[in-house]
Amino acid sequence: MRILMLVEGYNALGGIAEIVQSLALQLKHAGHTVAVVSTHDPRAGASGYERSPDPGVECIYHEIWNRKPIGLRHLETLVRIPWYARFGGLAHVLRAWQPDVVNSHLWAWDRYPTVVSACRGARVPLVQSFHVTDERGRGRLGERGLLALERSAAIITGSAATRDFFSNRLAAARRAHVIIGGVDAISAVNTAPYRAARPYLFCACRFNLEHKALDLLIKAFQVVAKDFTEIDLLIAGGGPDLSRVEQLAKSSGCEERIHLLGVKSRDELRALHRGATMFVLPSRPGECMPLVYLEAMAAGTPVIGTDTGGAREVIHSGVNGYLLPPEDVDGTIGAIRRLLANERMRTEMGAAGQRLVAANYTWEKCAAGYLDVYQACLRSGRSR
């Protein structure tokens, strides 16, 4: 099967690009031909991270046109839209690459009419994957762009919560296939733990305070640090709010115990997960299913997360970690204290998370679910 995946900013740090990269590699190992078409994020180099495609997975950087509001700044919309959407850009890539199925992981709703038009013109089934719920595109044009997906062959969501969100806006989403992402469970277990000078709490994410509540985490650590003087906080990642996070650490009163590690490779992150006493990532509404929760569990590390999006589908409070309401500083402080004070609890929760991931959330299982959807679309197309 020839599978073409669409994503935004594949070269940059981000969970959706990570999902696309891991899926593409798994599908390639299963004997399929896979390519990625992506917009190019010019800010990726400045963040200290630039993603490279895996060998055997072609990456085509190409602008995927998004519908612009008509106005003096976008007079070309009066003339270029029909031609460009039907024959230029993505449509040209489809004619040249000739995929059997297109799987869009795009999150900007105002790009969907272009994708639907190109796939219909090429007579290729379109599968749309939803990973976030906070991007709507340009006002009403974004809302209308979402409705274009009624013509898609299938919809996949990264959590049941994401399916429910889109079901209220898109009839086709009520039949969505829920496929939660995966991790490399074997590598997570076999990786040697990171050896730090002192025990540490660990967090890894993209530094975007709109979605990741790193300010809440640092505020909670300020309190915990007074009682547990031997513990540090390590945070890996980068992104648009790096300078703000640096300032929060400097003004915390415990700057020497908060270590911003920068962007780390997959292998480095596995080691950091393995060596941590716990993984803590407070998040904000708009999240779907942060893969880092699964990555921490795969390493046998208990998780403290926020009840947003699909987090409750993998974090079972009191079993493999703690799930707290959004913006709950006191709850975060209490959960960290309980885990630091009870090594046996940390061990039991870590083992429970590891079992959950190994049984349900590997990339092999995730890719098999995607393949089932692709094949069903192709069978349906042939029967028509």
Domain range list for the chain = 2-182+363-383, 185-360
- The sheet carrying 101-104 orders its strands as 58-61, 33-38, 2-7, 101-104, 126-130, 154-157, 177-178
Q: Is pLDDT at 78 greater than 50 in this prediction?
A: no
User: For 339, which DSSP code?
Assistant: H
In the numeric block, the tokens 């994020």 are attached to 41
User: Are the C-beta atoms of residues 47 and 78 closer than 8 Å to each other?
Assistant: no
Query: Across the chain, what does the average pLDDT equal?
Result: 89
pLDDT (tens digit per residue) in 226-253: 999 999 999 999 888 999 999 999 999 9
What span, in angstroms and rounded, lies between the C-alpha atoms of 43 and 5? 22
User: For 317, which DSSP code?
Assistant: B
Looking at residue 45, its pLDDT comes to 62
Topology match between the domains 2-182+363-383 and 185-360 = yes
Looking at residue 63, its pLDDT comes to 84
Give the containing element (helix H, strand E) for 42.
Answer: none
Can you say how many angstroms the Cα of residue 106 is from the centroid of all Cα atoms in its chain? 12
Name the token pair of 134: 């906070």
Which residues neighbour 256 within 8 Å (Cβ) at sequence distance 6 or greater? none
pLDDT (tens digit per residue) in 251-309: 999 999 999 999 998 899 999 999 999 999 999 887 778 889 999 999 999 999 999 98
Q: Is pLDDT at 34 greater than 80 in this prediction?
A: yes
Looking at residue 10, its pLDDT comes to 87
Looking at residue 224, its pLDDT comes to 97
Distances (CA, A) of 79 to 75, 76, 82, 115, 117: 8, 5, 7, 19, 16
**Cross-strand pairs, 203:** 235
- Provide the pLDDT confidence category of residue 12 given band limits of 50, 70 and 90: confident
What span, in angstroms and rounded, lies between the C-alpha atoms of 89 and 86? 9
Q: Is pLDDT at 85 greater than 90 in this prediction?
A: no
Which residues neighbour 22 within 8 Å (Cβ) at sequence distance 6 or greater? 181, 182, 184, 363, 366
Looking at residue 383, its pLDDT comes to 41
Q: Is pLDDT at 145 greater than 90 in this prediction?
A: no
In the numeric block, the tokens 């099967």 are attached to 1
Pairing of strands 232-236, 258-262: parallel
- Provide the pLDDT confidence category of residue 138 given band limits of 50, 70 and 90: low
Beta strands in 22-173 (DSSP E): 33-38, 58-61, 101-104, 126-130, 154-157
The full DSSP string for 166-233 is HHTT-GGGGG-EE----B-HHHHHHSPPP--SS-EEEEE----TTTB-HHHHHHHHHHHHHH-TT-EE
Looking at residue 132, its pLDDT comes to 86
Closest CA to 288 of 162, 153, 379, 187: 162
Looking at residue 143, its pLDDT comes to 76
Report the share of the chain in percent with pLDDT over 90.
Answer: 68
Looking at residue 35, its pLDDT comes to 95
Biggest CA pair distance of the chain: 67
- Provide the pLDDT confidence category of residue 31 given band limits of 50, 70 and 90: very high
pLDDT (tens digit per residue) in 309-326: 899 999 999 999 999 999
Amino acid present at 382: R
Q: Is pLDDT at 46 greater than 90 in this prediction?
A: no
Task: Tell me the fold of 185-360.
Answer: Rossmann fold (3.40.50)
- Provide the pLDDT confidence category of residue 137 given band limits of 50, 70 and 90: low
Asked if the 2-182+363-383 domain carries CATH number 3.30.70.250, the reply is no
